[in-house]
Amino acid sequence: MSEYPLPIEELERAIGYTFNDNLILKTALTHSSYANEQRSRGKKTKCEFNERLEFLGDSVLSLIVGEHLFYRFKDSPEGYLTKVRAAVVCSKSLAMLAEKINLGAYMLFGKGEEENGRTNPKILENAFEALLAAIYIYSSHSKDNVEKFLIQIMENEIEEY
């Protein structure tokens, strides 16, 4: 029996946010390979996966980081703010943030992705964005909970830049 995925409650502790109803969090942690495998097995209920959440999470990420940088670096010109934002929200940075919370260990994958998916930077980046969207939606579209988690985990990257 596989040791993965790890219990969602452990992820909730790692991110400092609790979902009373885990459905949206499970969707954020579901890779399309798992959903496609379930469909091919004839599951009658539709298995949602994280791509739509990833789309929204990308926008939430950009807004929160942009706003944070705007107020934190009050005397910095637009060009500098753009460079910092690009550096901290790039694929490599987001994959590293996902690794910080061991996000891949909580994900559902189909057999084809199970072996390498948990460490694949692109999959981790996408899942991280989906997680941000899940927090955003679950908190009634309030960016405060997302911001609390995101800026805390991202602070070192901002400082390093």
CATH code of the domain containing 133: 1.10.1520.10
> Is pLDDT of 1 > 60?
no
Residue 3 included in any domain: no
> Is pLDDT of 2 > 70?
no
Residue 38 included in any domain: yes
What sign does the CA torsion over 136, 137, 138, 140 have?
Answer: positive
List the beta bridge partners of residue 108.
Answer: 30
Q: Which residues contact 10 (CB under 8 A, 6 or more apart)?
A: 106
Residue 126 included in any domain: yes
Give the pLDDT score at 90: 95
Give the pLDDT score at 41: 77
> Is pLDDT of 159 > 90?
no
pTM of the model: 0.94
Give the pLDDT score at 78: 97
What is the distance between the alpha carbons of residues 135 and 98, in angstroms, rounded to a whole number? Answer: 15
Q: Kindly state the percentage of the chain with pLDDT values over 70.
A: 97
Residue 149 included in any domain: yes
Q: pLDDT-derived band of residue 151, with 50, 70 and 90 as boundaries?
A: very high
> Is pLDDT of 88 > 80?
yes
What is the distance between the alpha carbons of residues 9 and 70, in angstroms, rounded to a whole number? Answer: 34
Residue 1 included in any domain: no
Q: What is the number of domains present in the chain?
A: 1
- Which tens digits make up the pLDDT trace of 96-130? 999 999 999 999 999 989 889 999 999 999 999 99
Residue 2 included in any domain: no
Residue 60 included in any domain: yes
Range of the domain at 85: 8-160
Residue 122 included in any domain: yes
User: Could you list the active site residues?
Assistant: 58, 129
> Is pLDDT of 53 > 70?
yes
What is the distance between the alpha carbons of residues 156 and 89, in angstroms, rounded to a whole number? Answer: 13
Instruction: Over range 19-46, report the average pLDDT.
Output: 89
